[in-house]
Amino acid sequence: MGLFASRPALDAAVPLAAQAAAPTKRRRSLAAAIGVVDEVRDFAPFLRWLLVNSLAVIALLALWSFGFVQAMLATDRTHISLLILVLLVITAGHCMVQTLFVSRELVMVRRAEAIIADGADGFVVTRGRVSTSDGRVLEHSLLARHIANLIAKSRAQEGGRVDQTLLLRSLANQLRAREKLGWFVAETLLRLALLGTAIGFILMLIPIAQLSSFEVQTLRNALAGMSGGMAIALNVTVTGIASALLLKVEYYFLDQAIAELFSKITELTEVHVVSTLERSADG
């Protein structure tokens, strides 16, 4: 009888257990959703690059439909405008690659932070891979390489304070090197625009210098040559300035992403890694 009497109590306990497990499942699903949101936020630099270049492509297609691009390429005898556009496309691709790299590094820093901040008591380098004392391996990234350098420095100096100033300076130089090409090309495009302007004005003045009479046909040819030179000057100037402006916007967003990555690496290593290494050395 005692066994059958406990059956209703067991049946009542099942819904209670399910209700107790429901909040845990909701918390797990919420944590998974937050993780997805954080990963999307880490790829915000690439999304900004995509937005900027999508607007640029739409504007270029609109100019093409009105015939402005064809007219520019047809009237530019120096082909500087075409050179500017080719450099723009190549450098925009370079910016895309670097932006994707920084976005992936932001994702890996966030994942490493979740591991390290979860109470890592120490770090071990095995075959070039950094892992915590409890065996959790960090993904290969700039952060992992920086932590490996800190571990090597701590072991080499056999305890004491771990100063990462020089290592952070080296890391900053590596990150800044990824955007130097873009700033250089942007300035080069402005110089090409000025060069095209100068060449256009020279071509515009040549027909005036070659005037030998003031007959109608002679003046008509001179005006045609002047208009051709003016078209070259204006087309190259507009193309160069617009392309340089687009690249500056793209690399500004890349610079912001690099600054964010460097800040996160500095904060994570200074708060958790350096303190752990110093405590392990003192112990």
Q: What is the pLDDT of residue 179?
A: 93
Q: What is the pLDDT of residue 185?
A: 96
CA distance 46 to 106: 11
Q: At what angle do helices 216-268 and 80-116 cross, to 10 degrees?
A: 10
Question: SS3 letters for the chain?
Answer: CHHHHHHHHHHHHHHHHHHHHHHHHHHHHHHHHHHHHHHHHHCHHHHHHHHHHHHHHHHHHHHHHCCHHHHHHHHCCCCHHHHHHHHHHHHHHHHHHHHHHHHHHHHHHHHHHHHHCCCCCCEEEECCEEEECCCCECCCCHHHHHHHHHHHHHHHCCCCCCCCHHHHHHHHHHHHHHHHHHHHHHHHHHHHHHHHHHHHHHHHHHHHHCCCCCCHHHHHHHHHHHHHHHHHHHHHHHHHHHHHHHHHHHHHHHHHHHHHHHHHHHHHHHHHHHHHHHHHHHC
Ranges in the chain, pLDDT < 50: 1-7, 9-10, 12-22, 26-34
